[in-house]
């Protein structure tokens, strides 16, 4: 397996992954490394089974140039997204293809629930010989900060177990593999950067709507975490509620807030919503208009401060709800567009799986790939 400390090797592998099939000469030009260094590194990668020869380019001058690409089966990573109303696990190969996905819509899953879920899925994957265990580089975990700090009627008292749990130590010991943990919004941003529309833009805001709400910021092509590493807590933005009391944006813009509104209108929150159902459509439109109204002030501030090219919205809301929310926001922001260029709101490509996808990428970065700050250098 690739040596974790080899900086140049990580850069070469990412260049092959992003641009392959690619020749060694093209790699030297893209990375600034000498041709001999590229030859030595790619030889090691091929010996490790991480990179493979895709065949030579025929017809040019001199010896035919070999084209190199990543071997999808050269390495695999698991991405786990733990949230207060669901758990998602993904198995990704080195080319970025998802080989296995498992999702459970479980409210307030406890650590033991999550571990048992991962073990069952891993046993299934290995039992069906979908991958070789020795090629599994590790597990990336994406989850909200302060997991148990949420008030809801269905929240069990034992949910506080998350606050005292050492995730890395517990999961590593139980699953027998390297484990890394990141904030779910940061992971979702990475997922959109790698597999969605994010790679097209140098600056964007990603809003993740799940049991909570957070924003991930991309500045000059890389995620921005802030000096205190607490960026994106837009759910704490104070608002004045319709009833006259005070609250936060989280109170009106979350999956829980959406489901509670459905319940008040007699619609079962756990059912598959039919967009063509007049009752459902009317309820969704009412919620969207209210949520969009509260989002204008904080998102205008973000726009005026950061001037993002796009606002992506993803998370656990049904896709048609996210689309309607984006439409409502674009309509409201149109009134401000004449005096300032405004990046539009649009649904994230990776949507419900962004955090899990990003978590798998994090596992690859720990062992094989360069981090975003290294790529910027």
pTM listed for this prediction:
0.84
How far apart are alpha carbons 341 and 26 in whole angstroms? 38
- Each residue's pLDDT tens digit, 332-359: 999 988 888 899 999 998 778 889 999 9
The CA distance from 95 to 364, in Å, is 11
327: buried, middle or exposed (CB in 10 Å: 19+, 13-18, 0-12)? Answer: middle
Tokens representing 312?
């992506």
pLDDT number for residue 5: 45
Tokens of 361: 């990428």
Q: Strand, helix or coil at 154? A: coil
Give, as one character, the DSSP assignment of residue 27: H
Residue 188: phi and psi, rounded to 5, are -65, -40
Enumerate residue ranges in the chain where pLDDT < 50: 2-5, 376
What values do phi and psi take at 227, rounded to 5? -65, -35
For the chain, list the domains and their CATH numbers.
Answer: 7-70 (1.10.10.10), 75-189+355-366 (3.30.420.40), 197-348 (3.30.420.40)
Residue with tokens 């071997």: 71
Give the helix, strand, coil percentages of the chain, each rounded to 5: 45, 20, 35
Q: With contact defined as beta carbons under 8 Å apart, do 51 and 74 qualify?
A: yes
- Quick check: 105 and 269 in contact, CB under 8 A? no
- Taking only Cα atoms into account, the Rg of the chain, rounded to an integer number of angstroms, comes to 23
């Amino acid at each position: 397996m690739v040596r974790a400390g080899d900086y140049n090797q990580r850069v070469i592998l990412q260049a092959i992954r992003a641009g392959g099939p690619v020749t060694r000469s093209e790699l030297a030009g893209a990375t600034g490394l000498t041709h001999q260094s590229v030859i030595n590194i790619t030889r090691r990668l091929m010996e490790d089974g991480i990179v493979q020869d895709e065949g030579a380019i025929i017809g040019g001058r001199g010896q035919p140039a070999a084209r190199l690409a990543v071997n999808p089966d050269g390495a695999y990573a698991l991405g786990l997204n733990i949230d207060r109303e669901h758990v998602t696990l993904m198995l990704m190969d080195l080319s970025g293809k998802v080989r296995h996905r498992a999702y459970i819509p479980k409210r307030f899953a406890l650590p033991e629930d999550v571990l048992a879920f991962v073990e069952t899925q891993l046993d299934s994957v290995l039992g069906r010989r979908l991958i070789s265990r020795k090629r599994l580089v590790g597990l990336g975990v994406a989850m909200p900060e302060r997991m148990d700090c949420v008030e809801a009627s269905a929240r069990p008292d034992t949910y506080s177990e998350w606050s005292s749990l050492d995730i890395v130590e517990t999961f590593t010991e139980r699953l027998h593999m390297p484990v890394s943990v990141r904030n779910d919004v940061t992971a979702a941003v990475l997922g959109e950067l790698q597999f969605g529309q994010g790679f097209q833009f140098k600056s964007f805001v990603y809003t993740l709507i799940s049991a909570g709400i957070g924003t991930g910021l991309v500045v000059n092509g890389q995620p921005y975490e802030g000096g205190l590493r607490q960026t994106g807590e837009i759910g704490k933005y104070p608002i004045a509620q319709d009833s006259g009391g005070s609250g936060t944006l989280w109170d009106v813009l979350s999956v829980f807030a959406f489901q509670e509104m459905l319940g008040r209108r007699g619609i079962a929150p756990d059912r598959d919503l039919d967009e063509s159902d007049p009752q459902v459509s009317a309820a969704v439109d009412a919620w969207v208009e209210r949520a969009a109204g509260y989002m204008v002030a904080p998102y205008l501030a973000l726009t005026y401060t950061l001037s993002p090219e796009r606002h992506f919205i993803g998370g656990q809301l049904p896709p048609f709800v996210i689309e309607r929310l984006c439409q409502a926001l674009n309509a409201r922001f149109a009134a401000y567009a004449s005096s300032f260029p405004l990046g539009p709101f649009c649904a994230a490509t990776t949507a419900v799986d962004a955090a899990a996808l990003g978590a798998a990428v994090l596992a690859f970065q720990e062992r094989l790939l360069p981090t975003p700050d290294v790529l910027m250098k």
